[in-house]
Structure 1
């Protein structure tokens, strides 16, 4: 695909930095949570069992160390943002992970997450994807995993009518801006439709 990308679109390094106020607000909301009654023997037929929901709320409120996870994510995945112009929707600031293989001829890969996923899905497999093989037994990739608009740290659209085609336009323009004129894609769930 040949497309023009505006030169003003600049890659900006990104670090996750959730404020203490945001974390405190989440804890307060969790403390105020009220739970419904549960039907006897309902198990999973009507949603998550109440005992599981209460366990999750307790974990998020008292047992989850956000700062440790934030530091790990910032350390493990190189993150950036870039403004991308989207047909009929103006310019959106898009968050993404970009990790190049040491193999110059590696295959550019656009990884597209699904719902309710996020860019974090790439975290565990990123080292394997960029890994090189001296004997060429397996391919190596230059990996780009963007946060769909409205997910994680990507700006969401401001008006209705945002379709899979718009998400795909962002992915393509991002790859072109990064210098990848040809690339492969991988998408799960909603990401498959975008891909």
Structure 2
């Protein structure tokens, strides 16, 4: 049975992140190195300082929890047992809305779809509306990690189909990037 979900990162995890950011050391940089040699050192230092001193995780966590309808959907995958799949489930007021499974890219997360939710669920007489399901793939985000080797495309498909049927959708559209799982 599906259950509501709220993001709640532990204070210990946030403290550990801040300790790591505070103790970060940086290598020397090559002369005239820009993006052609990877992330420039100045940019890495700027990002590290922002994550350490400027980013407010608790505020972002609250925004996501207030804005997103999040659930855990337990599914069974043949040979891999039970997995808890985190997903967003936003339904349209339109009774003719089309169920749409929106699969994030790799690497990526459910956050890729958050700006699209109001656009896809609203619709009007000129555009279709969708009942949008945005899962975190197994091993990503707040979904279960697979503990057994061999979980591939067929198992990802089985897990996502199980999410959709558990939510009551037996026919649905799907959106995904060309390659949405890590390569074995």
TM-score for the superposition, normalised by structure 2: 0.95
User: Could you tell me how far apart the structure 1 residues matched to 2:134 and 2:179 are?
Assistant: 14
Cα distance, 1:117 vs structure 2: 1.1
User: Could you tell me how far apart the structure 2 residues matched to 1:69 and 1:85 are?
Assistant: 32
Gaps of 5+ in 1: 1-9
Task: Find the counterpart in structure 2 of residue 35 from structure 1.
Answer: 26
Contact 1:102 1:132 in 2 (8 A): no
Task: Find the counterpart in structure 2 of residue 6 from structure 1.
Answer: none
Task: Find the counterpart in structure 2 of residue 145 from structure 1.
Answer: 134
Contact 1:113 1:119 in 2 (8 A): yes
SS at match of 2:180: helix
Task: Find the counterpart in structure 2 of residue 75 from structure 1.
Answer: 66
**What RMSD over aligned residues (CA atoms) do the two structures have, in Å?**
1.4
Task: Find the counterpart in structure 2 of residue 185 from structure 1.
Answer: 174
Cα distance, 1:132 vs structure 2: 3.1
1:4-45 deviations in Å (ceiling 9; x for gaps):
xxxxxx110000011111111100011111111111122112
How many equivalent residue pairs?
182
User: Could you tell me how far apart the structure 2 residues matched to 1:158 and 1:150 are?
Assistant: 9
Among candidates 108, 112, 125, match of residue 103 of structure 2: 112
Cα distance, 1:192 vs structure 2: 8.5
Task: Find the counterpart in structure 2 of residue 45 from structure 1.
Answer: 36
Gaps of 5+ in 2: none
Task: Find the counterpart in structure 2 of residue 167 from structure 1.
Answer: 156
SS at match of 1:168: helix
Contact 2:73 2:166 in 1 (8 A): no
Aligned pair in 2 of structure 1 residues 56, 189: CA closer, same or farther (>3 Å)? farther
